[in-house]
Structure 1
Amino acid sequence: MAEPTHLKMLIWGKTYPELSSKHAETVCTGAVDESGRPIRLYPVPLRYLEGDQRYRLYDIVEVRADRNPRDNRPESHRIVPNSLSIVGKVPTDDQEWAGRREWICRDTSWHYDSLADLEAARLHDDTSMGLIRPGVVERVYLKPKKAAARREFEEKWESVTSQQDLFLPEYKALQYLTHEIRIDWRCAASCETCRRRPHDMMVLDWGLLELARRDGDWEKARRKLETISDLATHDFRLFIGNFFLHQQTWGVIGLWYPKRQAQQRLF
């Protein structure tokens, strides 16, 4: 097995925490390294890391990581415990998206104008992440979860918290999310699928779901996504990734949404 590699990367996406029998909970993190190559950090028990290791979006971090031998997806890496440190941050002001672009666009080989192109890359070499430009966003909507999903969550929570873990003196409460936020969109270069019907994807972005959870207002979160996905006012893109157990299924794990400038385009 190869030795862990020292990586410096920019964080661009975090999914909402998911319960894990082995790690208490896990977060899937999207990043790019210094060459602009996409990286997936998984699993990461982010809320259980020390405070100075709990990275935010567009933090620059250094970490030792190795390829996950159980995951065929080339972007997937595991963090060496206690090796992560935050070394900088790209500003979050709307005027500073250019600084983020410097990282995201160093290597545009993982940028696509259609989901069909990303799917073709998956079939060719297991590519599992991409940044896609929608041509049309048709709707943003809420989908209530079924009662069975709540029961499954509660059973897993009971199973996880009943375990004796010497490294976790207490478990952090994780609130069940009652809805999915979903987006219907068509590719900028329309593919065979979206010529018939729009792509319908679940949005897993932690910040958006945390907005709904924190304020108890799912409609507020839906409106937020509806606003930033307005292609007339925002240069909106979707960071998309697939699921390890269902690699033909894609979800939105991050959002790119600088406001459009009168004289300047970031891409």
Structure 2
Amino acid sequence: MAKTKVLVTVKTYPTLSQKYDELVCTAGFLEDGSWIRVYPVPFRKLDTRYKKWQWIELELVKNDSDPRNESFRPYDYEDITLGEVISTKNGWAERKKFALTKVYTNMSELIQEAKNRAIGTSLAVFKPSVVIDFIWKPCAREWDEKKVKAIYARAAQGNLFDTEEEKEVKKLFKIVDKIPYEFSYVFQSEDGIKRTLMIEDWEVCALYRRYVNEYHMSEIDACKKVREKYLDEFAKKRDLYFFLGTTLKHHFISKNPFIIIGTFTPPLAQPQEPSLFDLNYE
């Protein structure tokens, strides 16, 4: 089976699955600029394997349990070839070639595309007209107990064919921390409708954990610092775009099936100094 080349641009924060342990949704661009979703991806296998904006090559097959057009699953989780990491040189020019190939600006039109089974768009780059706020609210503080017990039970099981490294990983196995807050952007698009979309990007959750665990901030102070980063810096000082994705459960039934699965924040274009030849003399 031939390998597919994917430029990874999205890694969501892990969720728990009784079947696969911790799962991460990975998405990115193919060489032709079209979107692809790689799911499910076991977090413990792949978290340290690749970075965002890195080319990877792996064998993929259509995910039969997921009707969304862009959804594929790895054929072999271990057989992944790592490639170049695209830099941010020249104002993120190389990254823009992929991220800004097709940008949506009207949320209502994007939702219609998602609901249209002939099109079924489930991944998109989106540019909000106005970012109004970045908010947080409390959510469940702990993972589902039944799922946690099932995962730890599997981790404790020995396998005659485990390598020494795999055995050591099982000894040290610890489920990733649950984030007790949900973060969301409040914004408007060209349709003029005010919307609130949750963001499930790995980086927003990792930033919160860093403020709490490394800087020993209170939870509320950590949330305020996350807001400062995503609102005061990304929305006001950079050129902010959302990477949007639908959830499988809500794709065809929810009024708005999209969530924010990542952000793209190149620097704002610098105004060019006019030359003598550009000036209008009377």
TM-score by length of 2: 0.80
Q: Distance in 2 between matches of 1:18 and 1:199?
A: 24
Q: Deviations over 1:45-93 (max 9, x none)?
A: 1332385xx2111111111111101111000010122221211110146
Quick one: which of 83, 102, 107 aligns to 1:87? 83
Quick one: which of 93, 97, 110 aligns to 2:92? 97
SS at match of 1:230: helix
Q: 5+ unaligned residues in a row in structure 2: which ranges?
A: 213-221, 273-282
SS at match of 1:162: helix
Match of 1:6 in 2: 3
Quick one: which of 228, 234, 239 aligns to 1:223? 228
Max Rg structure:
2
1:12-91 equivalences under 5 Å are 12-49=9-46, 51=48, 54-81=49-76, 82-91=78-87
Quick one: which of 176, 179, 184 aligns to 2:178? 176
Alignment CA distance shift 1:150-1:156 (3 Å):
farther
Quick one: which of 117, 133, 145 aligns to 1:139? 133
Identity %: 28
Q: Deviations over 1:150-178 (max 9, x none)?
A: 35533421222123474664133311111
Q: Deviations over 1:240-264 (max 9, x none)?
A: 1111011132110010111212237
**Contact between 1:6 and 1:64, CA under 8 Å: does it hold in 2?**
yes
Q: Distance in 2 between matches of 1:230 and 1:242?
A: 22
**Partner letter of residue 157 of structure 1?**
V
Quick one: which of 121, 129, 137 aligns to 2:123? 129
TM-score by length of 1: 0.84
In the alignment, does 2:145 pair up with 1:154?
Answer: yes
Q: Distance in 2 between matches of 1:39 and 1:12?
A: 10
Quick one: which of 116, 122, 131 aligns to 2:108? 116
Quick one: which of 236, 240, 246 aligns to 2:244? 240
Q: RMSD of aligned C-alpha atoms?
A: 2.0
SS at match of 2:210: helix
SS at match of 1:241: strand
Q: Deviations over 1:186-215 (max 9, x none)?
A: 11x225xx1xxx111111110111010122
**Contact between 1:153 and 1:176, CA under 8 Å: does it hold in 2?**
no
Give the superposition deviation at 1:29.
Answer: 1.0
Q: Distance in 2 between matches of 1:104 and 1:261?
A: 16
**Partner letter of residue 75 of structure 1?**
E
SS at match of 2:13: coil
Alignment CA distance shift 1:7-1:79 (3 Å):
same
Alignment CA distance shift 1:86-1:228 (3 Å):
farther
Q: List structure 1 segments (4+ residues) > 4 angstroms apart after TM superposition.
A: none
Aligned residues: 245
Q: 5+ unaligned residues in a row in structure 1: which ranges?
A: none
Alignment CA distance shift 1:165-1:243 (3 Å):
farther
Q: Distance in 1 between matches of 2:130 and 2:47?
A: 41
Q: Deviations over 1:76-132 (max 9, x none)?
A: 010122221211110146x44111012224x42xx2111112111112222111111
